[in-house]
Structure 1
Amino acid sequence: MESISFSILALILLTTIKERSSLLRSLGDREKKLETLAGTSNALSQDFLSRIQTQLDLWGLTPSEKEISLLLIKGLSLEEISRVRKTSSKTVRQHAVNIYAKSKIEGRHQLSAYFIEELLQPCDHKK
């Protein structure tokens, strides 16, 4: 009877070890996939930021206007931007007016939408 119990325990232990090994391999594979996805995500974010910067340059924005544009696109209010930049809200408001005039955009929602639409454009995949 003891040998049967020992055999059952050995079988259970062997099965547990195999399952653990399999889980560890699977976890390792998933970690590699996550690293790849994180790298891809970072590259896409950098590409998107580069495209935004290029457009802001094309609009002829000053460095301050570019910074404020990015903060507006991120959704910060004029008051929040003035606190972040440690400038008066009147200065931030004037920069925003200049941004909208130079870009021929009517407001913060259109500014954000302008760049979000670029994100939503279908990708050209070469076959």
Structure 2
Amino acid sequence: MGRQGAIIAVLLIQALCAIFVVADILSSYVGLFSGPVAWKVRELMELGAAAGLLLGLGLGGLLLRRTLQERNQAQERLRRASGAFMDLLNERFDEWSLTPAERDVALFSIKGLSTADISALRGTSEGTIKAQTNAIYRKAGVTGRSQLLSLFIEDLMRDDGAVRPVKQPLDAA
């Protein structure tokens, strides 16, 4: 029986114990079934029900702790991936010798903002943003936003951890 089977078994035991406790209370309160049961047997049944409920409580606590640990690990991996992506962006931007303005435009472009949105955020005209994006694409050796983004995705997806060399800009020949 695997982990999932054990969890189901404990939940079934807990459900049976809860049914026993509720039935016992209802039978005493409403008087449905109160046949004679030896007090030792009754005490053992109540102890079994309490043990089952405690077992369920322990399982719930264990699963909660495990879930919180997995969530924390996932958050840490996401934090590392975000940091690695920013490091990769900065490394590429340095290699391409982007100006501070071009870096901002490239970052906004990679984030998916439109030319109009970038223009509004930077307080410049859309023509200026278009000129800067064209300069970025030329320096990166790509023809558009999707190719620019794919450079970073390919680097992040590499299995060996090494960074792929950047293509030479189109006008560097």
Aligned to 1:87: 124
Q: Does 1:65 align with 2:102?
A: yes
Give runs of ≥4 in structure 1 deviating > 3 Å.
Answer: 2-7
Q: Give the letter for the 2:47 counterpart.
A: A
Aligned to 1:113: 150
Aligned to 1:19: 56
TM-score (norm 2): 0.64
The verdict on how the C-alpha distance between 1:19 and 1:89 changes in structure 2, with shifts beyond 3 A counting, is same
The secondary structure found in structure 2 opposite 1:95 is helix
Give the root-mean-square deviation of aligned CA atoms.
1.8
CA radius of gyration, larger in = 2
TM-score (norm 1): 0.85
Q: Deviations over 1:15-44 (max 9, x none)?
A: 111111122122112212221221122112
* Counterpart mapping for 1:30-45 below 5 A: 30-45=67-82
Higher RCO structure (Cα 8 Å, ≥6 apart): 1
Q: Give the letter for the 1:23 counterpart.
A: G
Q: Give the letter for the 2:45 counterpart.
A: I
Distance in 1 separating the partners of 2:122 and 2:50:
62
Displacement of 1:13 after TM fit? 2.4
Displacement of 1:71 after TM fit? 1.3
The secondary structure found in structure 2 opposite 1:75 is coil
**Alignment equivalent of 2:137, drawn from 95, 100, 106:** 100
**Alignment equivalent of 1:49, drawn from 60, 71, 86:** 86
Aligned residues: 124
Distance in 1 separating the partners of 2:94 and 2:38:
81
Distance in 1 separating the partners of 2:43 and 2:122:
71
Displacement of 1:64 after TM fit? 1.1
Q: Give the letter for the 2:82 counterpart.
A: S
Could you list the runs of 5+ residues in structure 1 that have no partner in the other structure?
Answer: none
Distance in 1 separating the partners of 2:117 and 2:77:
31
The verdict on how the C-alpha distance between 1:59 and 1:72 changes in structure 2, with shifts beyond 3 A counting, is same
